[in-house]
Amino acid sequence: MQKSIEVEYWVVDEDGELTEPEELTDVSENVEEEFVPPLFELKTPPCETYGDLRSAFVEQLDRVLRRADELDKRLVPFGTPVNGERIERWPTERGRIQKRVLGTNFDYAKYCAGTHLHFEKRNVVDQLNTLIGLDPALALLNSSPYFRGTRVANGARAYLYRKKCYEKFPKHGQLWEYADTVGEWERRLDRRYEEFSRAAVEAGIDEETVEAHFTPDDVVWTPVRLRDEMPTVEWRAPDAALPSQILRAAEEIDAVMEQLHHTNVRVGGTTGGVTEDEIVLPGFETLREYVNEAIHEGLESPDVAGYLERMGFDVQGYDPITPKIDGREYVTRSEACELRLEYAEMLRRDVSRLLRN
């Protein structure tokens, strides 16, 4: 089963100030600007094995870091920039429409950097439901508790996306319930598109303009998505994080995704667990409690840690960034710059270790 990684990293200068990627995006066709100037995205090609995925990811990052050295730039593995100047969006018609529909809440998205894992479509309903059930694993990669200097949650990015950015359109940005069929999932997408289109027209955007820039496939920003373009099932819940941590999560989630092709997947009970014989997903209301704790408490929640262990994760093997930088109610701009430089250096060392191994 093919799989791939996409990760967004903040770009800073030698002083830790946010800056644009500029020539960094010339490194390869798999590196590109994101929708705000200080972010860029690195994508791996689809890979058949985890070993190939690891090699592609590390080698591409190493190339980007070498080019960053030449440009006096650094890459920062935080889910948010912690604090800093206001971030503006690159001007696009799509962004303009979203801002008209979502209002000022849409601005929260400008401060979020994440990791996306793609898995080739096979048993699509089981894949969708399993990734929904694994959503609390976002806690494994929580990498910033701060939004514009203020502490908001163990996983600030997930909180901002799900609770703030799409507060007025929760079904467009929050976790969806398990699906019975692909057709049911697609009908949900159609309804979300219709809702968005109506809201855009009410906000003064003509329907033809909406149709030119949005489709049911790309009108939602839910943590689990079906992607026709790839075609993959995508899990987009976790923060940007250190590469070794992303790879650990990718390997363990890939193992579960491979197993579901050879075993039974069912929803039932409150505990959940992965065994040789079956994958059991907890009822959705229970799952939602785990997800909320993953966002607000991270791995410090015994319930979340226990659940993830039952679902096949070696929780003790993870070392998320949030607990290391947490503890302050407010982080100043200068302190944020220091943190960004500190963790940019950690990212560099992390990639060096991965290359040696």
pLDDT tens string, the chain, 357 residues long: the values are 999 999 999 999 999 999 999 999 999 899 998 889 999 999 999 999 999 999 999 999 999 999 999 999 999 999 999 998 889 888 889 989 999 998 999 999 999 999 999 999 999 999 999 999 999 999 999 999 999 999 999 999 999 999 999 988 999 999 999 999 999 999 999 999 999 999 999 999 999 999 999 999 889 999 999 988 779 999 999 999 999 999 999 999 999 999 998 999 999 988 999 998 999 999 999 999 999 999 999 999 999 999 999 999 999 999 999 999 999 989 999 999 999 999 999 999 999 999 998
Q: What tokens were used for 189?
A: 């997408």
**Cα 59 from chain centre:** 21
CA distances from 122 to 49, 89, 126, 127 (A): 15, 36, 9, 8
Q: What is the pTM of this model?
A: 0.96
Long-range contacts of 309-317 (CB under 8 A, 24+ apart): 310/271, 310/272, 310/273, 310/274, 311/133, 311/134, 311/137, 311/256, 311/272, 311/273, 311/274, 312/252, 312/255, 312/256, 312/274, 313/137, 313/140, 313/252, 314/248, 314/252, 315/140, 317/248
Domain boundaries, the chain: 3-356
Report d(CA 235, CA 222) in Å as an integer: 9
In CATH, what is the architecture of 3-356?
A: 2-Layer Sandwich (3.30)
